[in-house]
Structure 1
C-alpha cells in the first residue's frame, strides 16, 4: 500500500514544481497540498475503501483547481501552457476512474462524472464515459437518454442519437420514458428544420406572401431569404448554354468534376415539406405505433405522447392527421376510461394556446363535447368536466372568457344537482368553487357551503376530506355556534379518522383556543390532551410508507401537549407530564427529543436539568438504538457541558450500535468540528392565532 501511494506522490513532483516556479502556490501551500493528497491516497488504499473518501478527494481537487485557475487568471504572463495547467483536471478524471472501478453500480457517481466531463468540455472523454456507463447499466434509461441528448444537442448528430435510443428500446422495450424521449427527439428535429425553412422562405409561395400583404398581416420579409424563382426547364436550358463552363470544370487535382444533374420540377417537388415523409412526421408516428404495441394498456403513456406533441409552438412538427390518429387510438383503446374520454373532448382546446386566435372556437367545441359525454350520468365524467373548466378558468386572463368559464361551472353543478348526480369528489369541488369564486359576504358564503357540506356528509359519513372541510368552516363561525356543534363533530371525527394529522391539528387548536377564551378550564384541557396522547400512542407503528402520517400524529400530539404545559406551568409542568406518561407507556423517540429541547430551553447549567436531559437521552436511545443522530446529539450535549467520562461511555455504546462504525466515527469528527447539523424534531405546525370568532378570507379556506 505504501509503495503505491509513494508512486502516486512522486508522479505529482513535476506538476508541483511547475506551480511553485510560476508563483501560483507558495512553498508552504505546496507542502499543505502534499500532506492532503497523501492523506487522501492512504484513505483510498485502505482494506475497505469508502465512496465518501473518493468524493471528498474529488471535491478537494476541484476546489484546488478552481483556486489555481483564479490565481493563474490574475497573473500577467504570456508563458505557454505547461504541465500544471492540465494536471489538476487529469487527476480528477483519474480519481473518478478509480472510484468507478470500485463502485461500478453507483449511478450517482456516474452522473457526477458525466456532469464534470460536460462542464470541462471533454467531448472525446465524454463519449467513452457514456459507452462504459451504458455497457455496465444497459437497463438504466437515464444513461441512454443523457447519451442521446449529448449526441443531438452538443454534437448535432441526429443519426447517432437515433441509434442510441433504438438500441435502448431493444433492451428496454417497456420503459415509457425512452419511447417518449425518442418521440420528442424526432419532433424537435422536425421543428428545427421547419423553423429553418420558414426563415429561408422555403415552401412559402409568392401567392401566399401577396395574400398576407393584402390581408394586412405582418410578414417578416427582412428576416426571410427570398429564394430565386426558377423552374426545372429554365435550369436545364441554363445548363445547356453554359455546359462548357458548368459541366467541364477541372478540380485542383486535374480531375474532371462529376456533372451535377439539373434540378427538375419533380426533384424540387420532392423537397417540399408535404412530400417529405420525415418532415411529415412519419418517423415520429412509427415510434408512436411501436410504442403502443409494446405498452398497450397504459393511458398515461399515451397521454405523454400527446403532451409532447402539444408542447410545440407553431409550426407544429406533427400535422393534424397525425395528431388525430393519436386521439383516435386513445378513444378506441380506452373508451371506458373517463380520463381518456375527457382528453379526447379537449382535442379542440389543446390545439391552441390561450392567446391564440383559434382558442375561443376550441373552447366552444370542447364544452359541447363534454356535455355530450355527461349524458351517461357518470359522476366521474362530471367531476372531470368541472376540473377542466376550472383549469382553463385559472389559465386565462381575459375577463369575458373567465365569466364564460364561471357560468359554465355553475351550470355543471346545477345540472348535476337536478339529475341527482353526486359523489364525494364532486361535492368537494363544489365547496371549493363556492369558497373561491362567490361574490357574497364571507359569512353567507360559509353558511351556504356548510349547508351543502352537511348534506354531503350525510351521504358520505366516512369521508375524511368532507369532515375536515366542515370543521374548518365551523371554526369561522361565532363562539356559540362552534361550542354547540364542534365537540360532537370532533368526537366522531377522531374516532373515525384517528390517523389524520389534519383533524388532530384542528382539534388541538380548538381546545387551546377554547382555553384562551375561557370556554374550557385548565383541568378540562389537560384531560383532553391526556386522552389524545393515550389514543395516538395506542396506534399501530408506522412501519410502511403509506402509514408515515401515523408517526407524525404520535409525535405532534404529545409535542403540542408538552408545549402547552410549558406555556401554562413552565418546565415543572412539562416534567410532571412526561414522568406520568413514562410510567404508562414508552413514547416515540421524537417525544423524548421534544422534552430534551424544552429542558435545554430552561437551563442546561442547572443540575436538575442536566440529570433530566441525560435520562431523556437514555430513554430515547432505548426507544431507537440504531438512530445515530440521537447519539450524536447526546454526545454534543455532553461535550458542551464537560461530561467527558459519560461522553466516552456513550461513544463506545454508539460504536457498537452503529451499522458502520467508521462512518459514524467520521460523523462524530464532523460534529466536533461544528460541521454536523442536528435534525429538527419539531412537531407539525399548529395554528394558534385563529380566534374563535375570526373570519378568514375565501382564499385561505379554499386552500
Structure 2
C-alpha cells in the first residue's frame, strides 16, 4: 500500500520542482502540497473506497490549478504549462476515470468530468467519454441529446451528431425530445451550409425527412406536431416546413381545437415585421397589429362555427386576453376589449363559457369600470358553476364594493353550494369582511368556519388565535385555545402558535405551556421528534423548567417514535445534552 502511494508521489515530483523553480510556490508550500497529496493517496488505497475521498482529491487538484493560474498572472510567467498544468489535468482525468469505474451509475460524477473536459478543451477525451457514458446509460434520451449537441456545436461534427441521434432513435423511437432535437439539428446544418453535406440538405430536405419519420413513429399526437412549429420559427428559411406541418394538422386533426388555434396564431407570425415596416413609414404600428389580430380573429370565428366547444371558445378568448395584456395603449385596449366582450357574450349564448372564462370576463368588466355588468355576469357564473369557490368569492367582492346589503344572503347561498373542503376562501372573505366592518359576530364566524372546514382549517385556526390575542389579549387567547382543543382537530402549527404566544408573556405560565406541549404530543407525538426536543430543551433551560423531567421525556419519546423519527430524535438529543443544539 505504502509503495503504491510512494510511486504516485514520485511521479508528481517533476511538476513540483518546476513550480518551485519558476517561483509559483516556495519550499514550504511544496511540502504542504506533498503532504496533502500523500494523505489523499492513502485514502484511495484503502480496502473500502469511498466516493467522497475521490471527490475531495479531485477538488483539491482543481483548486491547485486555480491557485497556479492566479500565481502565474501575478508573476507574468506563462511557460512550462505542459510540464505543470497538463500533468495535473492528466491526474484529475485519471482520478475521475477511477471513480467512474467504481461508481458508473453516478451521473453527477460523469457530468463533473464532462464539464472539466470542456473547460480544458479535451475533445478527444470528451468523445470517448460520451461513448462510455451512453453505453452505460442508453435509457436516458437527454444524455444522447447532450452528446449530439456537443458534437455539432462544439466539436463541429455534424456527421457524429447525426449518427448519435440515429442510434438513440433506434433505442427510443417514441422519444419526442430526440425527434425534435434531430429536426432542430438538421435545420441548423442547413443554416450553416456546411460543405460536407449534399445540396439537398441545403434546401432543408433532411429536416423534412426527419419530420416525416417522426410523425410516422409517433402518430395521433397533435401536440407533438405543434411542437415542431416553434423550432421552425427560429430559422428564417422554414416556410415550406411550416406549410407541411400546418397541412398535416388540417389533414390529420381537422376538427381539433388546437389545429384551429394554431392556424389563427399563424396570422400573428408577421407581427414584428409589421411593426418594423409601420415604424419605417412613420405609420401607427398599433393599426398594423390590430390588422393582424383581425385576421387571426377571422380564423377563430370560423373555428367556433366548425368546432363549437368550450375549449375552442376558451382558446379564442385566451388569444384576445393575451393581446390585451401586451399594451397599455388606450385606443388599442378599447378595440381589443370590445371584441373580447363580444366573443364572451357569444360564447355565453352558446352555453360555452368555462369557469376560467367567467372569471376573466368579470375581471375585465371591473377593469373597464362596468361594475353593474360585472355583477350580472358574476351572478350568471355562480349559477353555471355553483361549486366554484373562486367565482363565489369574486361575486362577493363585487357586492362588497357596492355595499353590504347582499353580502350575507349570497354568502349563505355559496356555503350551501360549495363543498366543505373547498369553502376556505369563502370563510376567509366573510371573516375579513366582518373584522373590517367591526361586526360583533366575527368570533362566531371563526368557529363556524373551523367546524365546517375541519381538517382543512389550519389557516383559519392560526388566524383565530392571532385575532384573539389582538382583540382580547392573552386571556381571550387562552379561551380560544380551550375551545379549539375541544374540537379535537387542532393542527400542529396552532399548538406551536399558542406556545409561542404564552412564552412571549412578561411572566410566562410554565404550567400552561407544558400542558399545551402535552396536548400536542398526544396528537402528534408519534411522528414529530422536534416537538419532544422542544419540550426537553424548555425543561432544561427555562427558569421555571424541571430539568429532572428531561430523562423521563427522553424515554417517552423513544417509546413513541419509530424508524427514522426515532433515529433523528436520538441523534439530536445527544446534541442537546452536549449543549450543541440551541433552540
The TM-score by the shorter chain falls in which range? 0.7 to 0.9
Query: What is the match of residue 317 of structure 1?
Result: 237
8 Å contact from structure 1 (residues 148, 164) kept in 2: yes
Please say which of residues 80-89 and 129-138 is displaced more in the overlay.
80-89
8 Å CA contact 1:306–1:326 kept in 2: the answer is yes
- Which residue of 2 is the match for residue 498 of structure 1? 420
Contact (CA 8 Å) 1:600, 1:609: kept in 2 or not?
A: no
Distance 2:516 2:377 in 1: 52
Match status 1:565 vs 2:482: no
Q: 1:624 to 1:415 in 2, by over 3 A?
A: same
CA offset at residue 646 of structure 1? 4.4
Cα distance in structure 2, aligned partners of 1:651 and 1:116: 52
Change (3 A) 1:92 1:658: farther
**Separation in structure 1 between the aligned mates of residue 532 and residue 113 of structure 2, nearest angstrom:** 34
Report the aligned-residue RMSD.
Answer: 4.9
Question: Closer, same or farther in 2 for the Cα pair 1:78/1:351, shift >3 Å?
Answer: closer
- In 1, Cα distance between equivalents of 2:167 and 2:579: 50
Equivalent of 2:394, from 466, 469, 491?
469
**Bigger mean CA offset, 481-490 vs 126-135:** 481-490
Structure 1 residue 317 displacement after superposition: 2.5
**Contact 1:435–1:446 under 8 Å retained in 2:** yes
Report the Cα distance in structure 2 between the residues aligned to 1:135 and 1:115, rounded to whole angstroms: 19
1:152 lines up with 2:155 in the alignment: no
**1:373 to partner: Cα distance:** 1.9
Question: What is the Cα deviation at residue 618 of structure 1?
Answer: 4.8
Matched, 1:293 2:216: yes
Shift of 1:112: 3.7
TM-score by length of 1: 0.66
CA contact (8 A) 1:183 1:287 kept: yes
Alignment of 1:282-361 (within 5 A): 282-312=205-235, 316-319=236-239, 321-350=240-269, 352-353=271-272, 355=275, 357=277
State the match for 1:142 in structure 2: 142
Aligned residue number for residue 203 of structure 1:
none
Q: Does the CA contact (< 8 Å) of 2:393 and 2:429 recur in 1?
A: no
Report the equivalent of 2:300. 370
Using the TM superposition, name which of 27-36 and 359-368 deviates more.
Answer: 27-36
Equivalent-residue separation in structure 2 for 1:72 and 1:638 (angstroms) = 59
Q: Which is further off, 455-464 or 329-338? A: 455-464
2:141–2:178: 8 Å Cα contact kept in structure 1? yes
Task: After TM superposition, give the deviation of residue 537 of structure 1 in Å.
Answer: 3.9
Is 1:525 paired with 2:442?
yes
What SS does the corresponding residue of 2:227 show, helix, strand or coil? helix
Aligned 8 A contact 2:18 2:83 in 1: yes
CA distance in 1, matches of 2:468, 2:46: 55
Q: Does 1:174 align with 2:174?
A: yes
Q: Distance in 2 between matches of 1:23 and 1:190?
A: 49
Q: Is the contact made by 2:392 and 2:426 (CA closer than 8 Å) also made in structure 1?
A: no
Match of 1:451?
A: 376
The structure-2 alpha-carbon separation of the partners of 1:477 and 1:117, relative to structure 1 and needing over 3 Å to count, comes to farther
Q: Does 1:391 align with 2:322?
A: yes
The residue number in structure 2 matching 1:460 is 385
**TM-score, structure 2 normalization:** 0.78
| Matches of 2:464 and 2:7, distance apart in 1 | 61
Q: Tell me how far 1:454 sits from its aligned partner.
A: 0.4
Displacement of 1:449 after TM fit?
1.0
Query: Contact (CA 8 Å) 2:24, 2:72: kept in 1 or not?
Result: no
Q: Tell whether the 8 Å contact from 1:431 to 1:452 is kept in structure 2 after alignment.
A: yes
**Equivalent residues of 1:515, 1:525 under 8 A apart:** yes
The count of aligned residue pairs is 563
- 1:533/1:557 contact within 8 Å kept: yes
CA gap 1:362/1:531 in 2 versus in 1, 3 angstroms: closer
CA, structure 1 residues 451+103, in 2 after alignment: closer, same or farther (shift >3 Å)?
Answer: farther
Q: Is the 8 A contact 1:327 1:344 kept in 2?
A: yes
Q: Give the match's secondary structure for 1:385.
A: helix
Q: Which runs of 5+ in 2 are unaligned?
A: 278-287
SS at match of 1:139: coil
SS in 2 for 1:350: coil
Native 8 Å contact 2:411 2:426 kept in 1: no
Aligned-residue offset at 1:339: 1.7
How far residue 301 of structure 1 moved from its aligned partner, in angstroms, is 0.8
The separation in 1 between residues aligned to 2:298 and 2:256, in whole angstroms, is 19
Q: Is contact 1:386-1:412 (8 Å) kept?
A: yes
Query: Could you give the per-residue CA deviations for residues 646-687 of structure 1, whole angstroms, max 9, x where no partner exists?
Result: 499499959974289699969998xx999x999xxxxxxxxx
Higher relative contact order (CA 8 A, sep 6+): 1
Are the aligned partners of 2:502 and 2:508 in contact in 1 as well (CA < 8 Å)?
A: no
